[in-house]
Amino acid sequence: MKLLTPSLVAASLVLSSCGEETKPTPAYPAVSQALPQPAPEPAKPAETQPIPAPTPAPAAQPVVAATPAKPTYTVRAEVDTLPGIESSVLRLHHERIPNFAGKDGKVGTDSQGKPGMKPMTMSFAKGPGVSYEGLKAGDKVEVVVEMNWEAALPDERIVITKLTRLAPETKLDFEGQRSLSDPKPVTPKPEPK
């Protein structure tokens, strides 16, 4: 095993730096003899823009409760009377509306204890885009109606928003009441006790 001697180490250092010029590092850093540089020009001010006045905070708005959607119902019915000289509303004899809720939003029961609104003939107002063209008494229809409890007149409270004609052979259930297409009332089945 060969040991490196100090002279061998020095020689290898000399050889490794061949071709390179090295400057000795002074013990103390030299003071720069460079010429003084002129002071930088002061920055030109950017185009000045007026500072906007602070925007006042918006006034507090009163909290308004959201208006609930108007209840809608899909109802099958028979045309009883078309609008005309005596009335501007369509009168329909409709089937039971089992989920019909009153102004308080609750589904009530009729005199027989059944939920919703019983079959009856009543007036319906015509909504935008609804056409009665070609309708006649006795025609069977399905209507989508919207309840507007705030309407000034009772005849304007139930508004037809969609009207679809049904096939003439469609059977409607008026729970024993007469209809134009079947003037003989059906004898209602006795209710189980």
Instruction: Please give the pLDDT value at position 113.
Output: 93
> φ, ψ for residue 14 (rounded to 5)?
-65, -45
Query: pLDDT below 50 — which residues of the chain?
Result: 1, 8-9, 11, 13-15, 20, 26, 32
Q: In the prediction, which pLDDT does 8 show?
A: 47
DSSP H helical ranges for 6-138: 6-16
The rounded distance, in Å, linking the Cα atoms of 116 and 96 is 7
Strands 140-147 and 120-126: unpaired
- pLDDT value at residue 15: 47
DSSP class of 154 = G
Q: Check residue 178 and give its pLDDT.
A: 83
Task: Please report the pLDDT score of residue 123 as a whole number.
Answer: 94
- What local confidence, expressed as pLDDT, does residue 42 receive? 62
Sorted by where each starts, the structural domains of the chain and their CATH numbers stand as 72-165 (2.40.50.320)
- What pLDDT shows up at residue 179? 80
How far is residue 79's CA from residue 169's CA, in Å, rounded to a whole number?
14
Per-residue model confidence (pLDDT) at position 192: 63
